[in-house]
Amino acid sequence: MRNRLSLDREGLAAAIACEDAAFEEALREEAYRVKVETVGPDVYLRGLIEISNICAKNCLYCGIRRDIRCQRYELSEEEVLATARAAARRRFGSVVIQGGERTDAAFIRKITRLLKEIKSIDTGDDPPLGVTLSLGEQSREVYEEWFDAGAHRYLLRIESSNPDLYRRIHPADHSYDRRLQALYDLKEIGYQAGTGAMIGMPFQTAEDMADDLLFYKEFDAPMVGMGPYNPHPETPLTLTGAPYPSAERRFALGLKMIALLRLLMPDINIAAATALEVLDPRGREKGLLSGANVIMPNITPEEQMVKYNLYDRKTLLRECPSSVDPSKRDTHICRNCVFPFCSLGEGLSGQKIVIGYGRWGDSKHFRRE
C-alpha cells in the first residue's frame, strides 16, 4: 500500500477524496500493520476530566462558546482530585484536564495547585499519573508555570491549518497566528505538544485535510488528536446551513485520516477520538484498528459531564447505565464511559491489542527527538 500511495499533497488529497470501500479497507489494514510494527500493539488510556465548560472564546462551531446559552459548571479541586484518584486505582496511567479556555488568575492558580496534587497521588508500583492539559491558548509564562508544576503533554488543536478556513470558523478577534505561536511556545518549553483538526466540516476540501496532515508533519507533532466534525444545533456554523458530508462519510473520513497520518508519521501517538463514537457505536475500536493507539475515556462526574456539550453527545449520554441504575456507578466515574474499555480490551485481546495499564505511553517520536 505505501509503495502505491503517494504521501505528498496531491496523493493525500486523492486518497481523502476516494470513496472506494476496498481502497479504504486496505488503507486501514496497512495503517494498523504499520502501527504494530512501529509503536507496538498497545493502547494507552488517558482519563478525560472535563474541568469546566466556562469559556472566554466564541468559536463558531463550539457548543460551549462564550455566547451560547447553556448551564455552566466548574469542578471543585476535590472533585478533580477524587476523579484522578479513581483513575489511578483503575491504573489508567494518565489523565487529561480539558476545559473551556480561561486566562483569569484564579483559574491559572487552581490548575497549578491541581497539577502538584495529582502528581502526589499514590499509584502503588506504577509511575505517578501522567498529566495532559488541553486548556487553550495561554501566555508562555503560564505554560511554563504549568510545566514546572507537573504537566508534560499539552493538546492544542489547530482546528484547520488553512488560515482562511480557520478564520471562517472563528470570530474576528481570534488569531490564527496567535494559535501557531502558542503551539511553538509549548514545544520550546518542552511539552509533548499535540495538535489536531476537525474532519469533514463545512467549507473544507480534500486539499485542506491533506494540508492538515502535512501541517502535523511540518510541526513535528509527537501526538495528534483529531476527529470528525459533529455539529451542535445552536452554533453559528450550523445555523449558516452550509453543507458538510453525511455522518457515514464523516466517519469514514475520520478513520481514513487516522490511517493516512499513521503512514505519514509512523511513530507518533494518535488518539481515537470520542467524536468517532458519536457516529458509530464501535467508533473508537475502529479507530484503533485504523492506526490509533490512544483512547481518552471520559471520567468526568456524570452530573457535570452532561453539560460539556461541545457537540451533540446525546447518543453517548443516553446509553449511560448509571442514569437508570445507580448500582452500576463507581464513585466519581461513570461506568459507561470506562467499562466499555474493559470489554473492548477483552474483545481486542484476540487481535493482540494490549491495554497499557499503569503506563504513561509517551510518544516514541518525542522520545526519539
Please report which confidence band the pLDDT of residue 33 belongs to, taking 50, 70 and 90 as the band edges.
very high
> 175 CB contacts (<8 Å, ≥6 apart)?
none
User: 136 is written with which cell numbers?
Assistant: 487553550
pLDDT for 366: 87
pTM (two decimals): 0.92
Q: Is residue 1 part of a domain?
A: no
Task: Give per-residue pLDDT as tens, 173-183.
Answer: 999 999 999 99
Give 114-144 as a DSSP string: HHHHHHTS--TTSPPPEEEEE-----HHHHH
Task: Give per-residue pLDDT as tens, 198-225.
Answer: 999 999 999 999 999 999 999 999 999 9
CA torsion sign, 167 to 177 to 193 to 32? positive
Q: Is residue 4 part of a domain?
A: no
Q: What angle do CA 173, 176, 178 make, to 5 degrees?
A: 80
Residue type, 229: Y
pLDDT for 266: 97
Task: Give per-residue pLDDT as tens, 55-94.
Answer: 999 999 999 999 999 999 999 999 999 999 999 999 999 9
Please report which confidence band the pLDDT of residue 352 belongs to, taking 50, 70 and 90 as the band edges.
low
pLDDT for 333: 40
Q: Is residue 3 part of a domain?
A: no
The distance between the two most distant Cα atoms of the chain, rounded to a whole number of Å, is 54
Q: What is the mean pLDDT of residues 8-34?
A: 97
Q: What angle do CA 58, 61, 67 make, to 5 degrees?
A: 35
Q: Residue 364 pLDDT more than 80?
A: yes
- Residue 96 · residue 155 · CB < 8 Å: yes
> 336 CB contacts (<8 Å, ≥6 apart)?
319, 320, 321, 322
Q: What is the mean pLDDT of residues 49-54?
A: 97
DSSP 268: S
Cell 470513496 found at: 19
pLDDT for 89: 93
Average of per-residue pLDDT values in the chain: 90
pLDDT for 309: 87
Task: Give per-residue pLDDT as tens, 264-310.
Answer: 999 999 999 999 999 998 899 999 999 999 999 899 998 898 889 88
Domain boundaries, position 201: 9-368
Q: Is residue 278 part of a domain?
A: yes
Q: CB burial class (10 A; 0-12, 13-18, 19+) of residue 42? A: middle
Residue type, 164: D
Task: Give per-residue pLDDT as tens, 220-242.
Answer: 999 999 999 999 999 999 999 99
The closest alpha carbon to 145, from 188, 200, 108, belongs to 108
- Residue 182 · residue 156 · CB < 8 Å: yes
Q: Is residue 233 part of a domain?
A: yes
pLDDT for 302: 84
Q: How many Å is the Cα radius of gyration of the chain?
A: 19
**Number of structural domains the chain divides into:** 1
Q: What is the CATH number of the domain that holds 171?
A: 3.20.20.70
The closest alpha carbon to 80, from 107, 47, 114, 29, belongs to 114
Q: Is residue 241 part of a domain?
A: yes
Q: Is residue 2 part of a domain?
A: no
Phi-psi region of 93 (alpha: psi -120 to 50; beta: other; left: phi over 0): left
